[in-house]
Amino acid sequence: MAIRELKVCLLGDTGVGKSSIVCRFVQDHFDHHISPTIGASFLTKTVPSGNELHKFLIWDTAGQERFHSLAPMYYRGSAAAVIVYDITKLDSFQTLKRWVKELKEHGPEDIVVAIAGNKNDLGDIREVPMKEAKEFADSIAAIFIETSARNAVNVEELFQKISKQIPPLENPEVESNDSFKLTRQPAPSYRRCC
Amino acid sequence: MAAEELPSEFDVVILGTGLAESVVAAAFSRVGQRVLHLDRRSYYAANWASFTFNSLLTWIQQHHEEPQPEELHDWSSLLEEGEELIYLSNTDSTSVRNLQVFCFTSEEGEEAEAQSPDAPNTTEEVSAGDAVKETSETESADSKYEETNQKPEEEEEEEQASQTEGEEPEADQPTPTAAQSQSEPTKKKISYAQLVKEGRRFNIDLVSKLLYSRGSLVDLLIKSNVSRYAEFKNVTRILTYRHGQVEQVPCSRADVFASRQLSVVEKRKLMRYLTSCVEETEEQRAYNGRPYLEFLCDQQLGNNLQHFLLHSIAMVTEDTPTEEGLASTRHFLRCLGRYGNTPFLFPVYGLGEIPQCFCRMCAVFGGIYCLRHSVTCLLVEKETNRCKAVIDSRGQRISCSHFVVEDGFVGADRKRLATPTRFLSRAVLITDGSILPSNSDQQVSMITVPPVAAGCPTVKMVELCPSTMTCMPGTHLVHLTCQSVGSAFEDLSPVVTRMFRTPQSHDQEKNPSVLWCLYFNMADGSEVKGHDLPSNVFVTFGPDGALSHEHAVSQAELIFKKILPEEDFCPPAPNPEDIIYDGENTSTGGEEEQSLQTEE
C-alpha cells in the first residue's frame, strides 16, 4: 500500500487540549500535567484508509498561538486542520470563528477542516451546547466531533473522519511536483561538471 | 485568546524576527535558554518577509505614511537603584525608501464579477488564468497606462493613484463577462483586479537571495533539522543578458554538451577550464591582485565563454581580483549537482519562510513568541554597564541576561556611523510570461545582467514560476537587485525597459509584459557599524546585497558563540519518531540527540 504523508495542523486557544488530543491519538497516553510540548514539533501516526496508508504529520502550535503569533508557514501544505475548543469554556468556542478566518487567510484552499469540542468528559460543567457547535461546523462544511483526550473518546474517530474526507490521489504522478526537503543524505551527485 | 501577561524573566530577549535574529533565537532555545522573541510588526521576518499581493500593498502604504512619532513614555519610575534607561528607536522608517509603484495592466478585468467575497469555483478561475498566460503577445492596446507619463519625482501622488485605483473596481463594476472569457481563450491580459483577487497566491519577498546548495544556510538547516519545516526547488537554469538577448549559461557537464550556442571547440575549452580551475595552480597565483578578467583573457577562451565565466559563474565584476574570481568559481562548481543542475535552491513559498522555520524551532523548544509587541527601553546597571532588563511596549519590566536587537530599532544616535548607509536597489515585477520561454513553463531562473551602460550597476535577477508558490498561475515573479547608484527606479528601470515589455519599451514584442511593478531601496545590511550599547546587547544587521545568506548565518553564529562559547550551535532536533513518551521520564533515540525535556 502506498503511504501518503498528510500534514495536519492544530488550532485553538491555549489550554483547550490540542496537545492532549495528539498525545492520545499517537501514543494512546494522557498526561494530567502536560506542559506545552517541548521538542516535538510534530508527531506522526500511520492509519490505513481505503487503498492507502495515511501517515499523519500532526503539527502542534508550539505555543505560538498564545500571543496570537502563529506564522503563516505553520499552515503551508496542510491537508487538514483540527480546530479545538473546550466545551467547558464558552470563550474558546467564541474564538473558533477567528481561527476559521485565519485558516481561510493563510491555509490552503482545499484544506479539510475538523472542529473538535474537547473535554466532553466534563459534561456537567459544559458551557457550549453541542447543537450550537454542530450548527456552526455545518455552516462552514467542517467535520464536527466532541472528544475526550482524557477518556480516549472519539479521538481515533476524529482522525478517521479526516481520513475519509481526504480525496484519494487521482494521479500520483501529477501530485509529485519537484519540490523536496533537504536531508542529511543528499541526492546522489550526478551530472557533475567536473 | 485573551491577552496574557508575559513572563518576567528570560535568559535572552530578542527584538526583530529577521533571519539573523531568528537563527539566534533557535540556537539559544535549542540548548535550553529561556528565549522571548518579539517583533513590533504584525508579521514575521522583518525586512526578510514575504507578502501576499494584498499585504504587500499594505506594506507599501505603511511606508508612504509619515511615521507617527510615538509618545515617549517616561518609565523612570521602574528604575531601581543604580540603573539608567536607554530608549530604543520606535520608528523603523530609515531602512526602506523611494518606493514607486506602476501598474501596467487594466484596472478592471473581464472577471470583475469575481470580486464578490465568496466567489465559488476557484479552480476554474485558475485554469482561466492559465489560458490567459500565453496570450499577451497579441494585444496591449486595452491596457491603461495612466501612470506612466508621470515622472519619478511625483512618486507620492503616483503611488496614491495606484492605491485608490486598486480599490475602484469594486465600486464601478463593469458588466462581467466571466463565462465568456473562460470559454474562449481570448487574449486577455491578467487585470489588476485579478492580481488582487488571487493576491494570496503571491509570496513576494522583500529580499532576493538564493541558497547555495553547499552554503552555510543549507548546512545549518540540515544540521539543526530545521529543514523539515520547509521545501525547496532547484533553480533550474542560469541565464545571462548580452547583446540584447537572454541566453542560457551552460554550467553542468550535461548543459555544456547539450548547448547549441557553443561550438565544439568552445565546449572543449570550457570543460578544460572548469576542470582545471578547481585546483589552485602556480599560473593562477601569478595573477593574484590582478583582475580575473585579465586571467580569463589570457586563457584564450573567446568572448562567449569569458562572459559566462565572469558574469554568470563567478558572478563578479570586471575588476574583481583573480583570486576572488577563482574562489567564487570554485564555490559555484562545488555546489553543482548536490540537488540539481545549478548551484542554487529556492524555498517554496518564498524566502520569508526561512526565518519563520527557525522561529518555529525556537518555539518548539519553549521560546515565547509575541508579534505586535516591542521593547521601548533598556534598563542598564550603571556600575557594570550591563543591560539587566528591558521594558516592553506595555510597560512591563522583563529581566534578561542578554538582549539581541535588530539594527532598525537602535536609534541613530547610538550608532557609530563611519560612512553614510549604503542602499540596495530592488525591483519586483509581476510579468505575464518567462523571459526565456522553453519546453517547461515551470523554470526558476537566475539571470545575471552586466551593466547596461558604463557606470550602471550589475543587476542580479531571479525569475520565479507559479510552482514555487510565489505567484499566481499565468504570471511570473521577477526580482531585481543591485547596489544602489541612484534610486531603485533610476538603477533598475533601464534594465526592465530593455528586457520586458512596458509602455516605455519599444520593439519588445516578444518580451513578457510587466503587469505590475514596485521599486524601492533598502538599507544594505552588510555595512557593519559599531554601537555604544552595553556589552551584553548585540545588534544584528538586515539583509545584505549578496546572493547568499552567509552574512546573516555568520552573524547569528558569532553572537551565539560570544554568549555561550561552550555550547553547540543548533544541534539537531530529534525526529518525531525518536521521541518516546512514557510519562515519567522521556528518552530519545537517535545518535546526536542532546538531553531533551518533554513532559513532566
What confidence tens digit (pLDDT) does each residue in B327-350 have? 999 999 999 988 988 999 999 999
Q: Strand, coil or helix: what is B233? A: strand
Q: Which positions 494-523 of B are in contact with A (Cβ < 8 Å)?
A: none
Pick among 3.30.420.10, 3.40.50.720, 3.40.430.10, 3.30.519.10: CATH of B93-202+423-523? 3.30.519.10
Task: Give CA–CA dist B174/A57, Å, rounded.
Answer: 46
What is the tens place of the pLDDT at every residue in A178-187?
Answer: 889 998 765 5
Supply the pLDDT for residue A43.
Answer: 86
Mean of the per-residue pLDDT values of chain A = 87
Nearest by CB: A38 against B2, B218, B366? B366
CB B272 within 8 A of CB B286: no
CB burial of residue B51 (10 Å; 0-12, 13-18, 19+): buried
Per-residue model confidence (pLDDT) at position B92: 64
Would you state the pLDDT for residue B596? 39
Quick check: B134 pLDDT over 60? no
Decide if B360 and A71 are in contact by the 8 Å CB cutoff: yes
Instruction: Give the mean model confidence (pLDDT) for residues B81-104.
Output: 86
Residue B33 vs residue B5, higher pLDDT: B33
Residues of chain B contacting residue A192, judged by C-beta atoms under 8 Å apart: 252-253, 336-337
In this structure, the strands spanning B386-392 and B344-347 are unpaired
Residue B539 pLDDT class (50, 70, 90 cuts): very high
The CA-to-CA distance between both ends of chain A, in Å, stands at: 41
B253 touches chain A (CB under 8 A): yes
Distance CA B110, CA B93 (A): 39
Q: Is the ipTM of this complex over 0.95?
A: no
Question: In this prediction, what percent of chain B has a pLDDT beyond 90?
Answer: 62
pLDDT at position B166 is 40
By CA distance, what is A106's nearest residue in B? Answer: B200
Cell numbers given for B466 = 507559479
Q: What's at A120, amino acid-wise?
A: N
CA B465 to centroid of chain Cα atoms: 16
Chain A contacts of B251, Cβ < 8 Å? 193
Band of pLDDT at residue A33, cut at 50, 70 and 90 = low
Instruction: Using alpha carbons, select from B484, B5, B574 the residue that is nearest to residue A43.
Output: B574
Q: Measure the CA–CA gap between B134 and B137, rounded to whole angstroms.
A: 7
Q: Best of B37, B50, B58, B229 to disrupt the A interface by mutation (most A CBs within 10 Å)?
A: B229
pLDDT score, position B126:
35
The better pLDDT of the pair A60, B163 is held by A60
- Give the strand pairing for B12-15 and B35-39: parallel
- Residues B453, B494: contact at Cβ < 8 Å? yes
Span A37-45, average pLDDT: 73
Rounded CA gap, B445 and B443, in Å? 6
Q: What is the mean pLDDT of residues B375-390?
A: 94
Give the length of chain B. Answer: 600
CA distance B443 to B441: 6
Å from B347 to nearest chain A CA?
9
> pLDDT at position B331, please?
94
Architecture of domain B249-342: Orthogonal Bundle (1.10)
Q: Cβ A66–B368 below 8 Å, yes or no?
A: yes
The answer to whether B572 and B564 have CB atoms below 8 angstroms apart is: no
SS3 B297: helix
Confidence of residue B377 (pLDDT cuts 50, 70, 90): very high
- B227–A69 CB contact, under 8 Å: no
Q: Is the pLDDT at B237 greater than 90, yes or no?
A: yes
The pLDDT of residue B343 is: 95
Grid coordinates representing B460? 542580479
For the record, the C-alpha cell of B446 comes out as: 537566475
Lowest mean per-residue pLDDT among A20-24, B152-156, B326-330, B569-573? B152-156
Residue for grid cell 499565468: B474
Lowest mean per-residue pLDDT among A138-152, B93-107, B140-154, B515-529: B140-154
Residue B108: pLDDT band with limits 50, 70, 90: confident
Residue among A65, A73, A191 minimizing CB distance to B252: A191
Question: What is the C-alpha to C-alpha distance for residues B241 and B30, in angstroms, rounded to an integer?
Answer: 45
pLDDT for B443 beyond 90: yes
3-class SS of residue B445: strand
Amino acid (one-letter) located at B45: A
State the nearest Cα–Cα gap between B36 and chain A, in angstroms.
11
Q: Residue B451 pLDDT > 80, yes or no?
A: yes
Residue in B333, B372, B576 closest to A42 by CB: B576
Q: How confident is the model at residue B599 (pLDDT cuts 50, 70, 90)?
A: very low
Domain residue extents for chain B: 1-52+349-419+527-600, 93-202+423-523, 249-342
**How many beta carbons lie within 10 A of that of residue B90, not counting itself?**
19
B136 three-class SS: helix
Set of cell numbers at residue B56: 504587500
Local confidence band at B587 (pLDDT 50, 70, 90 cut-offs): very low
Burial B333-364 (b: 16+ CB within 10 A, else e): bbbbbbbbbbbbbbbbbbbbbbbbbbbbbbbb
- The reported pLDDT for the residue numbered B5 is 86
Query: Which segments of A35-154 does DSSP mark as H helices, in order?
Result: 90-94, 96-106, 130-139
CB pairs under 8 A between A and B: 164
CA distance A95 to A85: 9
Determine which of A144-148, B32-36, B264-268, B503-507 has the lowest per-residue pLDDT on average.
B503-507
Q: CB under 8 Å to B283, separation ≥6 — which residues? A: none
- Sequence length of chain A is 194
**Chain B residues lying within 8 Å of A68, measured CB to CB:** 1, 371-372
- State the Cα–Cα distance between residues B583 and B565, nearest whole angstrom: 34
Contact by Cβ (8 Å): B322, B16: no
- Helix axes of B19-30 and B550-563: crossing angle, nearest 10 degrees: 40
Q: Which of A25-39, A127-141, B12-26, B152-166 has the lowest mean pLDDT?
A: B152-166
Q: Tell me the pLDDT tens digit for each residue of B145-166.
A: 434 444 444 444 444 444 444 4
C-alpha cell of residue B107 = 484596472
A66 chain-B contacts, CB cut-off 8 A: 4, 368-369
The Cα-based distances of A109 to A113, A137, B121, B201 in angstroms read 11, 17, 11, 10
Average pLDDT, chain B: 83
Secondary structure of B159-212 in HEC code, one letter for each residue: HHHHHHHHHHHHHCCCCCCHHHHHHCCCCCCCCHHHHHHCHHHCCEECCCCCEE
Across B439-547, where does the E strand assignment appear? 445-449, 459-464, 476-483, 514-523, 530-531, 537-540
**HEC profile for B523-576?**
ECCCCCCEECCCCCEEEECCCCCCCCCHHHHHHHHHHHHHHCCCCCCCCCCCCH
* Chain A environment of B599 (Cβ under 8 Å): 31, 33-35, 37
Which residues in chain A touch residue B333, judged by CB atoms under 8 angstroms apart? 193-194
Q: Does residue B123 carry a pLDDT above 60?
A: no
Instruction: Determine the residue of chain B that is closest to A40 in CA distance.
Output: B576
- pLDDT score, position B288: 92
Among the partner-chain residues A35, A57, A187, the one whose CB lies closest to the CB of B599 is A35
Q: Which chain A residues touch B230 with a CB distance below 8 Å?
A: 73, 181-182
pLDDT at B466: 96
- The pLDDT, as a whole number, for residue B410 is 86
At residue B79, the pLDDT reads: 83
Report CA-CA distances (Å) from B315 to B73, B153, B327, B329: 49, 33, 11, 8
Residue ranges of alpha helices (H) inside chain A are 18-27, 90-94, 96-106, 130-139, 155-165, 172-175
Query: What contacts A65, CB < 8 A, 6 or more positions away?
Result: A11, A12, A13, A14, B1
CA dist., res. B246 & res. B447, Å (int)? 9
B26 touches chain A (CB under 8 A): no
Q: Reply yes or no on whether the pLDDT at B584 is more than 70.
A: no
Chain A within 8 Å of B393 (Cβ-Cβ)? no
Q: Is the dihedral of CA A174, A179, A183, A186 positive or negative?
A: positive
Nearest to A38 among B353, B364, B369 (CB): B364
Distance CA B244, CA B206 (A): 28
DSSP state of B338: S
* CA distance linking residue B485 with residue B491, whole number of Å: 6
Interstrand relation of B587-588 and A42-49 (parallel, antiparallel or unpaired): unpaired
Average pLDDT, integer, range B295-315: 93
Considering the four listed CATH numbers 3.20.20.150, 3.40.30.10, 3.50.50.60, 3.40.980.10, the one that applies to the domain covering B1-52+349-419+527-600 is 3.50.50.60
Q: Do domains B93-202+423-523 and B249-342 have the same CATH topology?
A: no
**Residue B204 confidence (pLDDT) above 50:** yes
- Report yes or no: B448 and B439 within 8 Å, Cβ to Cβ: no
Which helix (H) or strand (E) element contains residue B271?
A: helix B264-276
User: Residue B531: pLDDT above 90?
Assistant: no
Give me A151's grid cell: 477518556
Yes or no: say if B273 and B301 are a contact pair by the CB < 8 Å rule: yes
A79 and A54 in contact (C-beta within 8 Å)?
no
Cα separations (Å) of B17 from A33, A106, B231?
A: 31, 19, 20
Contact indicator for B85, B75 with CB cutoff of 8 Å? yes
* Candidates B271, B345, B356; nearest CB to A73: B356
Q: Where are the alpha helices (DSSP H) in B277-397?
A: 282-285, 292-298, 303-307, 322-335, 353-364
